[in-house]
Structure 1
Amino acid sequence: MFAAGTALSACGTTKPTAEGTPPADTAEPQAKQEASAAEIAEGQRVFRFETFGDEQLWTDKLRLNEVVEKNVDPTTALKVGLKVDADVLPAGILEKVDLKSPATTVALLKMNAVVGLQATVDANNHITRLGVTCALCHSTVDNSVMAGIGRRKDGWPNRDLNVGAIIALSPVLAADKKAVYQSWGPGKYDPRYNQDGKNTPLVLPPAYGLAQVKNETYTAEGPISYWNAYVAVTQMGGQGNFSDPRLGIDVKHSPDMVTSKLPTLRAYQHSLPAPPPPAGSFDAAIAERGRTVFDRTCASCHIGGSGTDNNGGTLHPPADTGVDGAYAARTSNKSYRTTPLRALWQHPPYFHDGSAATLADVVAHYNRVRKLDLTAEQQRELIEYLKSL
């Protein structure tokens, strides 16, 4: 439930982000040059297992613990994109259990095997508390056992996850609310719907390759810890503090179960590298020619190691890039950040709203909107280069 950006924007009209500077108490804490192994390990624990007390939403308000216990068998869970951590499963367990029984889901939760879900299960196998973690949306598995079951891949966006369908299972939601959640589809989430009532869901972004990225949101409203706090408190339902006058949000809890955990969470996210492209997934010779095309047409916005001009304070109005502006209009900056181009091979669809199904669609879009005049061969070369990143 964090967020990323728009791709391949050749620079045109831009504006600085001064008016979008986050409040001082939500700005990025001063980070050490390098986090210690202990800090990264604690950050991994937070990322994978910390609910920040959000059971108050998922259990007390939405009552999803009741739904999961009674109605969600493993087959259904896998269909809505939930993942299972094979490393904690006893050998041969899948051959012995009924994957059509909700009781098996309860057993998996009791083993802490469902990625991104934390449950308290009593002696009678009733789920008394259920919460979610960062890993629900920003971790997947390698499918080494079967589809949806394997070893964790933290930082990879779970593009199979149908968050809206899961929320819509709640028995307390009105039909019109359920219809909105069900409209999102797999791999999308609207991090402002519960704030402004509007519906423009975003593609779930990766949480890897962040070490050189200043602002990890589509609209660059704040750095990584700012967005982690926003999501933890306003979206996950965590019991913490988050305040941003630009958005009219001021939430406080006592005790604050979020703020003290943000530095190690950030350290773990910074430690996650973008995965390299699989061997043989692109033509190296063509990609090298594509680098020349990229340097000439794209590198003025996708700058340096970070891959974004936003580190220098630049934003792009929607008209500058030809992408839909409905989401940006809901934010304080009203514009989009240039997306860092990290592991593009791994996470289609592209653009903030998923409107580009392939990298070929992305290149064709900018060739048209930015009048790049690339030939078909140059577009092919550029696509191969993007696949190599």
Structure 2
Amino acid sequence: MKLRYASPLFLAAAVVLLTTAVASPRAKHDAATESRFLGDAEENAKQLIDQGRKIFRFDTYGDEAFWTDKLGIQQAVGSLTPRDALALGLKVDAEALSPRIVEAINGGKVNLDDPAVTLQLLEQNAVLGVVGSFEGGSLRKVGFTCALCHSTVDDSVAPGIGKRIDGLANRDLNVGAIIAAAPDLQPVVELLRLAPQNSGIGADDVRKVLESWGPGKFDAELFLDGKAFNPKQVTNGVVTATNVSGAVLIPNAQGLSGHNLHTWTGGWGTVTYWNAFVAVNELHGIGTFFDERFDDANQFPIAAAAKLGHVSVDPDEDQVTSKLAALHFYQLALPAVQPRPGTDFDPAAAARGGELFSGKANCNSCHHKPLWTEPGWNQHSADELKIDGFEADRAPGRAYRTMNLAGLFVRERGLFMSPQNKGRFYHDGRFKELLELVDSYNERFHLGLSDDEKKDLIEYLKSL
């Protein structure tokens, strides 16, 4: 009788298959446990972006307790017609609407003079940054989110109505006028009275200040120092305007990855600092915020008196702190709008302008490619910039931040905004267009640029 032996190769393969079959469930379990233990960057990033997007668009941090319960803003919002809302710069997300409604808007079949339509838009979460709570068909509460100021739409359906663009500042939004419409401004009056110079003000005074801001501007420092107006706007030793509103242009919340300081004036901190500050002290959400620099009563009389640098709530009631990580991640993931060659800028002129940017114009000494700001402590004094220090002196760093230049073409061309609000450069919008800005630098720093060189440099700026 002849014995047959299995080949060594066959036996080895059988052992491997048997071992795999037996060990597979345990191996998979161990791998999953190990993944949770060590973390997975890709999965974590996806979760943070999803969470951050939701927070950025829809989270009020419980600020209804201020805007609704104290100021009664829901009364003003609920009485707005769609036409009024659009005139105030509020934007409508067309993707939150049904195709039938979009078709009706395009066909002019929606009554833009009916406040009931505004309420319908709020019920559908279609008004960017405005969250309404309804009970029995009536608007009971209104709160605001990051998207109110830092998102707009592409106007693809109608002016002010289109696809949402997160992170791009709303240059049409009249924040001051919206706040001024609140029935009861007494809480704001009492806060501003904490500054010695404001001890005698009333609600009418506050409304005048709020209405002086205009579209696309906000004055966060007003509620820290009580200074409503810049007495002298100075550029290169020349007074260009007096008693200018202290409000600054709403900054973009996109194209910020890799930067240090993020606001117009220096020393405040990074994106996550500003998120916490705005959520707690500007939106008046329910959360914790700490900054002992606000204890300086000379620089921040209101903040020091109201202890705005020492806001603390029970961790179980805090609606801000747990959301800062995801919100921060989402904002840093938002890329700047990309210019289109031949549409948004002239490629040949931009190529010549690029040589000037790094050479004769010396722009690259501060605006380093590809961050378009400085790696590190990106701020400069008012004296170095040869402008007034009104806004700089309101910040902890008493300086101006080197701003990111990416996406300048959006403002220069007036994309996604009303024509009258296009342009406006520098923190307070003192330069109406890029040519004015370049002219100013040419004079302040004796660059010796010819008219043709200025045009080329502008095309390069528009290409960033």
TM-score normalized with structure 2 length:
0.74
SS of aligned partner of 1:127: strand
Whole-angstrom CA distance in 2 between matches of 1:117 and 1:109: 7
- Post-superposition Cα deviations, 1:117-142, rounded to whole Å, max 9, x if no partner, equal 0010112x221111000000010011
Instruction: Indicate the residue corresponding to 1:212 in structure 2.
Output: 258
- Post-superposition Cα deviations, 1:286-344, rounded to whole Å, max 9, x if no partner, equal 111111110021111112322212x3224211121133321111111111111111111
* Change over 3 Å in CA distance of 1:33–1:356 after alignment to 2: farther
1:272 paired residue among 305, 312, 334: 334
Instruction: Indicate the residue corresponding to 1:193 in structure 2.
Output: 222
CA contact (8 A) 2:63 2:283 kept: yes
Query: How many pairs are equivalent?
Result: 355
Cα drift, residue 33 of structure 1: 7.3
**Is residue 231 of structure 1 aligned with residue 272 of structure 2?**
no
Cα drift, residue 230 of structure 1: 0.7
SS of aligned partner of 1:120: strand
Whole-angstrom CA distance in 2 between matches of 1:324 and 1:187: 22
Whole-angstrom CA distance in 1 between matches of 2:387 and 2:138: 47
Instruction: Indicate the residue corresponding to 2:382 in structure 1.
Output: 318
SS of aligned partner of 2:310: strand
Cα drift, residue 205 of structure 1: 1.1
The residue identity in structure 2 corresponding to 1:185 is G
- Post-superposition Cα deviations, 1:83-141, rounded to whole Å, max 9, x if no partner, equal 01111112232355422111111111111111100010112x22111100000001001
TM-score normalized with structure 1 length:
0.88
CA contact (8 A) 1:212 1:305 kept: no
**Is residue 337 of structure 1 aligned with residue 401 of structure 2?**
yes
Stretches (4+) displaced over 6 A: none
1:256 paired residue among 303, 306, 318: 318
Whole-angstrom CA distance in 1 between matches of 2:446 and 2:41: 42
**Is residue 142 of structure 1 aligned with residue 154 of structure 2?**
yes
**Is residue 153 of structure 1 aligned with residue 165 of structure 2?**
yes
Specify every segment of 5 or more residues in structure 2 that has no aligned partner in the other structure, as ranges: 1-39, 186-202, 229-245, 296-308, 412-422
Q: Which has more radius of gyration? A: 2
Instruction: Indicate the residue corresponding to 2:133 in structure 1.
Output: 120
Alignment of 1:19-38 (within 5 A): 36-38=45-47
CA contact (8 A) 2:260 2:378 kept: no
Q: Which moved more, 1:333-342 or 1:34-43?
A: 34-43
Q: Which moved more, 1:211-220 or 1:168-177?
A: 211-220
* Change over 3 Å in CA distance of 1:201–1:270 after alignment to 2: same
Whole-angstrom CA distance in 1 between matches of 2:254 and 2:224: 27
**Is residue 299 of structure 1 aligned with residue 364 of structure 2?**
yes
Whole-angstrom CA distance in 1 between matches of 2:99 and 2:292: 52
* Change over 3 Å in CA distance of 1:365–1:136 after alignment to 2: same
Instruction: Indicate the residue corresponding to 1:5 in structure 2.
Output: none
Normalized per residue, the structure richer in helix is 2
Whole-angstrom CA distance in 2 between matches of 1:193 and 1:105: 30
Instruction: Indicate the residue corresponding to 1:27 in structure 2.
Output: none
Instruction: State the percentage of identical aligned residues.
Output: 45
Cα RMSD for the two superposed structures: 1.5
Whole-angstrom CA distance in 1 between matches of 2:224 and 2:66: 15
Cα drift, residue 219 of structure 1: 2.2
Question: Whose RCO is larger (CA < 8 A, sep 6+)?
Answer: 1
Instruction: Indicate the residue corresponding to 1:166 in structure 2.
Output: 178
Whole-angstrom CA distance in 1 between matches of 2:351 and 2:388: 32
SS of aligned partner of 1:246: helix
SS of aligned partner of 1:131: strand
CA contact (8 A) 1:158 1:204 kept: yes
